[in-house]
Copies of this chain bind each other. A is one copy, B any other.
Amino acid sequence: MIQSLTDLDREHLQEALNKSGQKVTSQREAVFTVLLAERDHPTVDEVFNRAREVMPGLSLATVYNCLETFVGCGLVRQVNHERESTRYCPNLSPHAHFRDKETGRVHDIELPPEVIKSLRAILPPGFDSEIIEISFQGRAQAKDNSAN
C-alpha cells in the first residue's frame, strides 16, 4: 500500500537532511514515506511495523534514530499525549492536536494566526516563548476516514 515519495517530497527530505549535514539513506526514505503515506500520527511501533513491510531488515532502533533525526531537522513534529507513546506528525503548518478519547485517534486542528497571537499575548512580561503546544481532548464525530 505504501507508494514511494513524490519527487517533491524526496526533494524536501534531501534538502532538510543536507541542510543539517546528514544523508539520505534508504531507511530514512522508508520511514519518511511511511509518515507521509498515512497522516494518522503513528507511534514508533506503528511506523516500524509499516516500514518493515517494505524493508524487512529495518530495526526498531533505526526507526527511533530516523524519527529523532527528522525532528531535529524540522521535518516532523513529536506529539505527546499524557504519558502515552510519542506520536509523529509530518504536518508542518501551525496546528493543534485533538485526541479522540473514544478511538484514541489524533486529528490536526489548524491554528489561525490570530489565535496564536492572542495566546502569546497572555504571557506576562519577561516570558518569551518559541513553542506553543495545544492539545484538545474529547470526542470527534465519526465522519469519514477513507482518504486523507
- Given A82-B80, A83-B86, A129-B98: A109 and B137 interface contact (C-beta under 8 Å): no
Bound: A78/B138 CA distance, A: 17
Bound: A61/B122 CA distance, A: 38
Instruction: Give a binary string over A122-145; 1 marks a CB under 8 Å from any B CB, 0 the rest.
Output: 111111111111111111110100
Bound: A82/B133 CA distance, A: 10
- The answer to whether the Cβ of A112 comes within 8 Å of any Cβ in the partner chain is yes
Bound: A83/B136 CA distance, A: 18
- The answer to whether the Cβ of A7 comes within 8 Å of any Cβ in the partner chain is no
- The answer to whether the Cβ of A75 comes within 8 Å of any Cβ in the partner chain is no
- The answer to whether the Cβ of A92 comes within 8 Å of any Cβ in the partner chain is no
Name the B residues within 8 Å of A8 (CB-CB): none
For chain A, which range describes its interface: under 10, 10 to 19, 20 to 34, or 35 or more residues? 35 or more
Inter-subunit contact B115/A122 (CB<8 Å): yes
Instruction: Give a binary string over A100-133; 1 marks a CB under 8 Å from any B CB, 0 the rest.
Output: 0000000101111001001100111111111111
Inter-subunit contact A122/B127 (CB<8 Å): no
Q: A96-B122, A125-B141 are in contact. List 16 more A-B contacts (CB 8 A).
A: A80-B80, A98-B127, A115-B118, A127-B136, A127-B140, A127-B141, A128-B139, A129-B137, A129-B138, A130-B138, A131-B137, A132-B134, A132-B136, A132-B137, A133-B133, A133-B137
